[in-house]
Structures are given as C-alpha cells and as structure tokens.
Structure 1
Amino acid sequence: MMYHIVKYSGQFGFIKPWTAVRDSETFSQQFLTPSIVEGIEKKLFPELLQEQGIKKIRRHRLNYQGIDIQQEKTWAKGGISLYRDKGIWKSNLGILNRGVMLNPVLFLAFETGEDAQKAVKQSICLCRNEDLLFPEYVEQISGTDFDEIEGFELHFTDDTTGFKVGYNRFDNASEMYGELKVYGLPVRQ
C-alpha cells in the first residue's frame, strides 16, 4: 500500500490523558486516541462533520524532542470566587505543572494525494488550540517506509486486544481502546 503523508511540526504539544482530571502534575500523553484523530480529520475536512468515524487518515506517527515542565494557572470549574479566611482574602486559583512535548512532529498518512494536498494547506493542533502544528511537505511512500518513521502510533482496537484510552466524544462517549506501537526512537535528540 502506498500512502501520501503530510509532515506537521510545531514548538509545543500537549495531549491531556483522559485519566487526568485535576492532577497537580500531568505529563503529555504521547499518542493520539481515535477521537483525537477524528477531531483532526474533521478540522481538515469539514465536509465530514456530520459523519461518524475516521474516513481519510489511515495512519499517524508522533515523535518529539523532550518534555518540558510548564506551569499553568487554573480556576475552579465554577469560575473565579473570592472569599475571606481568617481575615485573609483568598481565591480558588490553582497552579498546575504540565509536562509538554517539545518540538512535536506528526505524520498523517492518507490514501489519496488529493486528501494530502488539502491537508498540507492547513495547520492543526493535537488537543490545545494554542499548540499549533504547521505543515511542511507531502510525500508519497510505501507502508513499509512509513513503518521506518520513528514515533508513537496507537493502533485502534477493542477491549479484547487493547487497553482503554478514554471515551469517544464523537460516539456517545463510548470507550476507546488501542495497542501502543513504538517505532524506533520516538524521543528525538
């Protein structure tokens, strides 16, 4: 099988694990879940917004240079509140430490050159809209050559062969499963 791949890169990337709710320290997940891939696909191909499932992205591969700890200011779910405690004014402000991927690179594989050409004209983000990845090029390669690209790839499975990776926001919060494959050295020098 031949793929038309688009290479995307950026300075930062954060994929919040589904198990992280209000953890004070959270490291970026290193793989894309089915709903993340579907969300990226719907951004690239808005004509698919009303359709369910992944239609055009056949495979993906993610690698990065390292993890950087960044602090993020957060507020409670209800918003800002000020209160007085023993004569001192306090708020519900919190500081979280996030382990963010440095210089992530994402390869998306498409079956058709037309889909790849449409994708290469657009930026994407992994999860947070401030972590933009920009397209670099389109290249046609074989499936065997795609397997030589270093990085993480989650092969989507069911509960009999994979581990739980979250709940699918595009499919009534159904459980998602996958088998994580590591190709080469996914953390670049």
Structure 2
Amino acid sequence: MTRLDDIALTEHGLSPAGRGRVLLIGCGALARDVLALKTAHGWDHLDLACLPAILHNHPEKIPDAVAQEVAANRGAYAQIFVLYADCGTGGLLQARCAELGVEMLEGPHCYSFFEGNDAFAARGEMTAFYLTDFLVRQFDAFVTRPLGLDRHPQLRDVYFGNYEKLVYLAQTNDPELTQKARACALRLGLDFERRVTGHGDLETALRRL
C-alpha cells in the first residue's frame, strides 16, 4: 500500500526511492576522493555522478553540463549537491546553481578547498604551480600534451618561467605519487614542495550532507 508521505513526495516530483538520498554532481577529478570518503565513513546515502575532468580545459562549458545533470536527476533525489568550486567559470557556475536551487562547493578551485579555503587564501602564493593526486596521476594527459610540451619542449619556460615551485597537495600518503610529483617538478624546472592536505573542505562539505 502506498503511504501518504510517499504520495506527497511523488506530488512534489520526488520518487519514494529518493527519500534521504543525495546526488553529488562532481568533476571526474574528484571521483577517487569522493569514493574513498564514502567508503571510509559509510556514507551510503550519497550517489556520485561525474562529469569529464577535461571540462576544466573549457570551463565555460561547466555550468551547462551541470544544469543538464541536475535536470535529469532532480526528481530522483532529496538533494543535489554540486562538487565543483568556481573552477574558472568566473562566477557563472555559482549563478547557475543559484538559479537551479542547488548548493555547490565553496572556493575558487580544488587546490583551495583541498588545502582549506581559509588556509589557501592566507598563503597568497602567486608563483606556485599546484598538483593534486589526480593531476600527478594524469600529468601527461592534463599538462604535457594539452600544452604541447611533448612536441615543443622549448615552450616550458614560456608557460612556467614565472613560477618558482611546484606544490604537490597530497590527498593521500603515497610514496609513488610523491616520487612522480617530484619528477614533474624537475621536468618543469621548478622547486618541489609537498603538503599533505587530506581532503580538506571537500570532506567538511560532504559531512554536512
């Protein structure tokens, strides 16, 4: 028998199966981190839908991609939360999320919310190039090849001549990733620094859900 609360939920566009469930619409670069947090904390009420991480090369496309995902899933979940910071959209994603009535991560980008937005802002670093666990793993796919450094290595100093150090913001304690990040710094001609951030404000945001 259908209960009255199920009927009320259906009338408001939410299927009974969606009660209490939260959909996370996030960048594919965060998938491993979100799944690790779900497993560690038993957050089985959180479902994850990832958009391609390569959208960061065209941030103007992120708001429309998020909006399409929200529209496709709104009736199936009690809440939808967007796992993007501004990520180069110049405020457009925040405006779109406000129109859609969904919340999103705070901060300018993942480097900031991984370290903690307040801590990152306080550093005021202008000459640091950042990598996360994801970007260390995908350095060639997201840095070397898109910038043409595999074909034109002389461009390195054009792109990175004003940087002084590569900062690896480590979500995990993985010696292999640290070694690879150090090699990335060497390839770019930069000093190397490693900071263990864990998941920072990403974990804080998910706890609230």
Bigger RCO (CA 8 Å, 6+ sep): 1
- Scaled by the length of structure 1, the TM-score of the pair is 0.23
Question: Per residue, is there more strand in 1 or in 2?
Answer: 1
- Scaled by the length of structure 2, the TM-score of the pair is 0.21
Question: Per residue, is there more helix in 1 or in 2?
Answer: 2
